[in-house]
Chain A
Amino acid sequence: MQVHKSKKIVPLQSNNSPPVSELAPATREAKHRKKNCTMAITNSIAVFGRYCMFMRKVFSLPDKWRLFFKRTVAEISKLGVDSIPLVVIVSIFIGAVITIQMEINTSSPLIPAYSVGLATRDIVLLEFSNSILCLILAGKVGSNIASEIGTMRVTEQIDALEIMGVNSACFLVLPKVVAFVLFIPVLVIFCMGTAMLGGMAVAYFTDIISISKFTYGLQAMFSEWYVWYGIIKSFFFAYIIASVASFFGYHVKGGALEVGKASTNAVVTSSILILLFDVLLTKMLLQ
């Protein structure tokens, strides 16, 4: 005679652990936090994977080199040349502020007066002209790229390119990345020069430091490597800004609201990555 065994329902938890609903609130919260953390890590890996695949599409040979160069020149004008006024204004004011703050904080008979110029120069060369400038440009250029490509996505312009047989990622994104990476040294050098001019303007128009001592400070113990260090860092930051913003813009789904979200995400993500790479590059290049 055949014996029918009744099928038991196997609980999801092991027999030793109680169901989640019966756990103490603190334990339950810890479990939820762990689950959320795992999900966030998984999502980040998935996004990074998609970014790599997107970049593979971007860095393929352009269909028409003539069009690629034409678009690159147009992007240099739009992303680079159009950013010069912002760079100049921000740099002059920040240069002036750094000089005033340095004078206030180093006004001691033990510290020579020219150290104001020296400290201003080093702050500008080492950090302001590249990292802080790129954080500012992540807002301007990053949001511009993400919203432009995002709008093209939601208005089916990218689909139209794909239907025509154009590699839309390469066609739209590569000129932006190349243009911004090529032009960033110009912006960095503009920033270095105008920030120091801002400091000199403070020395010239106020009596907190003489212009000769400030100028002497700017020239004292000058290390050329600091300029190269700033430019090298800026190449990485420019690549991050252009590629991350393009990635977020390209993958927009929905309408105007999502374009706005993509633009915000692009700025936030590229800013965090800039800060992260700032630490890594400083460690690698200066130590």
Chain B
Amino acid sequence: MIEVKNINKTFDDKQILYDVSATFHTGMTNLIIGQSGSGKTVLMKSIVGLLRPDSGEILYDGRDVMKMDSKEIHNLRKEIGMLFQGSALFDSETVLGNVMFPLSMFTKMSQGEMRDRALFCLERVNLKGADKKYPSEISGGMQKRVAIARAIALNPKYLFCDEPNSGLDPRTSILIDELLHDITHEYNMTTIINTHDMNSVLGIGENIIFLNKGHREWVGDKETLFETDNKALNDFVFATRLFKEVKQYIISEKNGK
């Protein structure tokens, strides 16, 4: 479980996060949602330690990151997997090389063992037969899956995904969402996903944190999302006609029952 308490972050006199507190549960897909510029990425980068908050606490299963020395942070990072918006695969390495990279850095496995583990991870994300290709030779969806395979190679306790569906077609987006959801439950990870994809929110949103202009406005799940009267959240989630109609339908269904 990851807890953040009263996080504030400022860039050049511009405050991005205002006293943000949230709890991200283990074995659940925790979603941070909000409009572009609402502070989602800043919050995620603060949690993983790429940015240092001005104040507040970040607790990984009770361990406060803000009080850790560099060695402890170094060790903590071995428990973290991250999927970046642009996949961030190493161009000079093959798909297999990318997945084997964390294993070669942090384990004492033999070459054969690393290869087996990497192939297993690639198979888990439904990417058989692409191991010899370079990232530039595969599609965006496949790159995302390679990045997931690389992120889970070391069996991390915490998985972070920054807009995993950006730039993907709806079908591939659903596949990636399902994959993240299944992996989270299979390995009992604390998964945090930054997204503004409403399909993801309604599909895998087991714990949803809504950020609005740097403030935490709402916390709930995909079920309670339909019952909220938070205007900012309603305007954001049910912005399109389709989602408005879906909301109407679900509410009327519930009332009918």
CB of B211 closer than 8 Å to a CB of A: no
Q: Are A165 and B75 in contact (CB under 8 A)?
A: yes
Q: Determine whether the beta carbon of A160 is less than 8 Å from that of B88.
A: yes
What residues on B are CB-neighbors of A63 within 8 Å? Answer: 105
- The reply on A82 being an interface residue by CB < 8 A is no
Please pick, from B75, B85, B105, the residue contacting A166 in the complex, using a CB distance under 8 A: B105
Inter-chain contact B104/A67, CB cutoff 8 Å: yes
Indicate if A164 sits at the interface (CB-CB under 8 A). yes
The residue on A at minimum CB distance from B84 is A156
Please tell me if the beta carbons of A156 and B80 are within 8 angstroms of each other in the complex: no
A93 to chain B minimum Cβ distance, whole angstroms, is 33
Interface residue B48 (Cβ < 8 Å from any Cβ of A)? yes
Q: Does B50 make an interface contact (CB < 8 A)?
A: yes
Q: Are A64 and B80 in contact (CB under 8 A)?
A: no
A67 to B89, CA, bound (A): 18
Q: Is the CB of B85 within 8 A of A163?
A: no
In the complex, which residues 69-118 of chain B have their Cβ closer than 8 Å to any Cβ of chain A?
A: 74-78, 80, 82, 84-86, 88-91, 101-102, 104-106
Partner of A156, one of B74, B85, B104: B85
Indicate if A29 sits at the interface (CB-CB under 8 A).
no
Pick the contact of A64: B76, B90, B91, B104 (CB < 8 A). B104
B90 near A162 (CB under 8 angstroms)?
Answer: no
Which of B82, B85, B88, B102 has the most C-beta atoms of chain A within 10 angstroms of its own C-beta?
B88
- What would be 20 A-B contacts, judged by CB atoms less than 8 Å apart? A63-B105, A64-B105, A67-B104, A151-B91, A155-B88, A156-B86, A157-B88, A157-B89, A160-B82, A160-B90, A162-B77, A163-B82, A164-B77, A164-B78, A164-B80, A164-B101, A164-B106, A165-B78, A165-B80, A165-B106
Residues in B lying within 8 Å of A, measured CB to CB:
48, 50, 74-78, 80, 82, 84-86, 88-91, 101-102, 104-106, 160
Q: Which 5 A-B pairs have the closest CB atoms?
A: A165-B77, A156-B88, A160-B88, A163-B82, A156-B84
